[in-house]
Amino acid sequence: MNIILGRMLIGFLDADCFYVSCERARLPHLMGQPVGVLSNQGACVIAKSYELKARGISTGMPIWKARPLCPEAVFVKRDFAWYEILSRRMADEVRQVSPAVEYYSIDELFFDASWLSRTFEAPLSEAAMRLRERIHSRVGVPVSVGVSRSRTLAKLAAKSVKPFGCRVLLDPEETKSFLHDCPVEEIAGIGWRSADKLHARQIRTVGNFAATDRHVICKLLTKKGEALWWELHGEPVLPLDTIRPPHKMVGRGGSLSGPTRDIERLRAWLVRNVERLVEALDRHGVVCETFSLSLRLESGHYIGDGTTLPEATAQFPRLLAAARDIFNRVYRSGDTVTHMHLNTERLSFRHAVQQSLLDRPSAQDIETARLKRLINKRVGRFAVRSGATLPLHDIYADPTNGHDICDIYGKLCF
């Protein structure tokens, strides 16, 4: 559900070093220590504490490069199941003080901040600090809070005071001064391609962006850029989405836990990702009409292809057949693969699709899928899985592979 903003005040809450903070919430002895959170295979750093960042360690850095830079650092494997618990607790706390909350990402929330002062019986700046302190006290995670007249300004305000800060940005002159030297890349929604277009026109700061004629911005970045222009002028045109809009695409995949050219292992990964994809399609209650497969090689190149399915489906046998067909066409024996991604598009809700009378799934396939869902729901996510995934025994034995960021439903971003 979209909330029309009008003169509503928009708040933005951004958890500080969220994955590290979650680990510290359950392991207090990590407070003050340099801490890094590792990817599922423990090969690279996906999150870092400020102490670790100060030692020159960056996100994505391989563990064998990070360790020498900070020998005393504590590295832990990711645990998205735990991170989701604290993420939803943060959202619940904000819902107690706001009538409208957007679950933007695992560590970010937009909310209607109009009621903050009334809830905490304090001026707005103090009320924002009290919200920050309440979440820190009750959830155990430090957050930064920004409040302004649009979501774009609120997010910029929060980002400017990290870590554990608060900023209320309402005064037009203060806002103009704040935006003056802020790099244009800080605007949410401005990626490197958009930044390159803006830089070519000498638009390098948020202040430059806001001062540029609206029609020029629209010509450079289309309506999306124009919406950001209005937002930077305190006109809220991007609504709060309190319920996630229907997906336009559902995909699954990621790292293969290390480069591999083992054909049996690659085929096992294909089956695993199709099973996860079907699980997601079931969760959303949709069927797909198109399917694509992409493989990233160790060289950095991508190979892959897509296909239009004979009819809209979410059936495991049919999607696996499409995946295997594409894999057999694009993969060359001996290629070393590091990542695999499966995507489905042209999605429709199942109740709105007319199924074929001539090419229906067999009763056995339907019953097998039903029993598989039932058992896995009761016993464990991967209690029943295809025998073709047996070469991945190390993956299924590692609990960090049981829950991923994409398995956290309801958030708008990723």
* Ranges of H-type helices in 1-123: 18-26, 50-53, 63-69, 80-95, 116-120
Cis before residue 163, ω within 30 degrees of 0? yes
- What single letter denotes the amino acid at residue 402? G
Distance CA 135, CA 158 (A): 15
Q: Which residues are catalytic?
A: 108
Which helix (H) or strand (E) segment holds residue 304: the answer is strand 302-313
As a whole number of angstroms, the distance between CA 389 and CA 407 comes to: 19
For tokens 């097998």, what's the residue? Answer: 368
Sheet holding 74-77, edge to edge: 45-48, 35-38, 74-77
DSSP for 251-298, written as a single string: EEEEEEEEEE--HHHHHHHHHHHHHHHHHHHHHHTEEEEEEEEEEEET
